Amino acid sequence: MASPSINSSEEINWDEIGFGIIPTDTMCLMKCSTEEADTFSEATLVPYGNLHLLPSAGILNHGQGVIEGLKAYRTKDGHILLFRPEENGTRLKIGAERMCMPSPSVEQFVDAVKQTVLANKRWVPPVGKGSLYIRPLLMGTGSVLGIAPAPECTLLIYVTPVKTYHTGPLNLVIKDKLYRAICGSGGTGGVKSVVNYSPAYKALKEARAEGFSDILYLDAATGKFIEELSSCNIFLVKGKAISTPTAGGNILPGITRKSIIEIAIDLGYKVTERAVAVDELMEADEVFCTGTAVGVNPVASITHNNIRAEYKTGAEAVSQKLLQTLVGIQTGHIQDTRGWTLQI
Ligand code: COI
């Protein structure tokens, strides 16, 4: 969705924001030279704006980078809550290791996120009007020509106010022979490498031209099992049983995914993480997807080989109950008994 052109939070019509970039006040930078000790500098807050990069920076030439995504929420009494930021710090470390980069400690990461959000607190939407999306990007900023890790890495954190990624139930399509990420257990599908996202553009462009919302990708090795969408994980509901493809390998261990599994178990569902065959889509009562950007989004239909399966959506759907519980915890409406939120 195109973002309204907004220059100051005083002028924001919060009802007009979608999922796009609205420039905010401040971004955060932390640098690390891999030729010296692999330790990151203190977080430096600078005005949001252009970066100075050499043409030979690793991120520009070879895509040496990992992203994270998390959100800050406004509570009804005006406080700001982060949702499970230490999980993002831990996942960033795993992604960094796969992409041959050093990473800040989880504590340094969470502190940098806090500082960035507090410096932009006027951009955290009022309760019910969205959230502040936080995008950490760890990248090789040092100069390289050959295939080698950059000698300097930078963690950049910027923020923008958003509503959810999608605005209604999704109509998905499965396209044979187009895969989401570099596949297989040795690939990067299971980490948030920047190189996992642009390969989805072609399939997504085709799908949108055909009237679909997104793609549901299958495993490249056999084409028999479902993996995830371009930007989120997937769940199937059949009676009181909920299944989701096992994370790791090619499937991103989503933090919303992990949270929804716990919430669903608490609500009395039996949740299984396993290989989910594409044929099972025909039998499911409900399908939904999860992610930081998408939240919990119902799927209305999935089309595969020109056969369209339709699913329950709406107020009575399981996905709706899960979403309400998750958002309730994230915004402080429901008591957080698990220590998932961090007030800043
Ligand atoms: C997220 O859900 O935070 C993502 O990173 C997905 C996408 C917007 C790239």
Strand partners of residue 215:
173
Kindly state the tokens that stand for 67. 């992203």
Residue nearest to atom 8 of ligand 1 (CA): 293
Confidence at residue 326, expressed as pLDDT on a 0 to 100 scale:
97
Q: Residue 176: pLDDT band by 50, 70, 90 thresholds?
A: confident
The size of the chain, in residues, is 344
Give the residue, out of 159, 197, 231, with the most ligand 1 atoms within 8 A of its beta carbon, to mutate for a pocket test.
Answer: 231
Other Cβ atoms less than 10 A from the Cβ of 315: the count is 7
Q: Is the ipTM of this complex over 0.95?
A: yes
pLDDT digits (tens, 9 = 90+) for 264-305: 999 999 999 999 999 999 899 999 999 999 999 999 999 999
Kindly state the tokens that stand for 99. 């992409």
Ligand 1 atom with minimal separation from the 68 CA? 5
Strands (E) in the chain, as ranges, are 26-33, 44-47, 65-67, 70-74, 80-83, 131-140, 152-162, 170-173, 214-215, 233-238, 241-245, 270-274, 286-291, 295-304, 307-310, 341-343
Q: How far is the CA of 36 from the centre of ligand 1 (A)?
A: 32
Ligand 1 atom with minimal separation from the 231 CA? 6
Strand partners of residue 80:
74
How high is the mean pLDDT of the chain? 92
Rounded to whole angstroms, what are the CA distances from 84 to 91, 255, 292, 339?
Answer: 11, 8, 11, 8
Q: How far apart are CA 20 and CA 23, in angstroms?
A: 10
Question: Which one from 31, 192, 270, 312 is the annotated catalytic residue?
Answer: 192
Residue nearest to atom 5 of ligand 1 (CA): 69
Kindly state the tokens that stand for 119. 């410096």
Q: Residue 11: pLDDT band by 50, 70, 90 thresholds?
A: confident
Ligand 1 atom with minimal separation from the 292 CA? 2
Give the residue, out of 194, 204, 292, 330, with the most ligand 1 atoms within 8 A of its beta carbon, to mutate for a pocket test.
Answer: 292
Q: How far apart are CA 117 and CA 134, in angstroms?
A: 8
Per-residue pLDDT at 248 exceeds 90: no
Q: How far is the CA of 291 from the centre of ligand 1 (A)?
A: 7
pTM to 2 decimal places? 0.94
Ligand 1 atom with minimal separation from the 293 CA? 2
For residue 54, which of 155, 139, 142 has the smallest C-alpha distance? 142
Per-residue pLDDT at 5 exceeds 60: no
Other Cβ atoms less than 10 A from the Cβ of 31: the count is 15
Q: How far is the CA of 81 from the centre of ligand 1 (A)?
A: 19
Q: How far is the CA of 95 from the centre of ligand 1 (A)?
A: 15
Q: How far apart are CA 121 and CA 341, in angstroms?
A: 17
Q: How far apart are CA 68 and CA 136, in angstroms?
A: 5
Residue nearest to atom 7 of ligand 1 (CA): 231
- For residues 151-159, average pLDDT: 97
The DSSP bridge pattern shows strands 307-310 and 295-304 to be antiparallel
Residues at CB less than 6 angstroms from ligand 1: 67, 69, 197, 231, 291-293
- Helices 85-98 and 106-119, axial angle in degrees (round to 10): 120
Q: What are phi and psi of 33, to 5 degrees?
A: -90, 125
HSE-CB at 343 with a 13 A cutoff on CA atoms is 10
Strand partners of residue 155:
30, 138
Least confident interval from 2-16, 69-83, 127-141, 192-206: 2-16
Give the residue, out of 21, 67, 192, with the most ligand 1 atoms within 8 A of its beta carbon, to mutate for a pocket test.
Answer: 67
Task: Assess whether 270 carries a catalytic annotation.
Answer: no
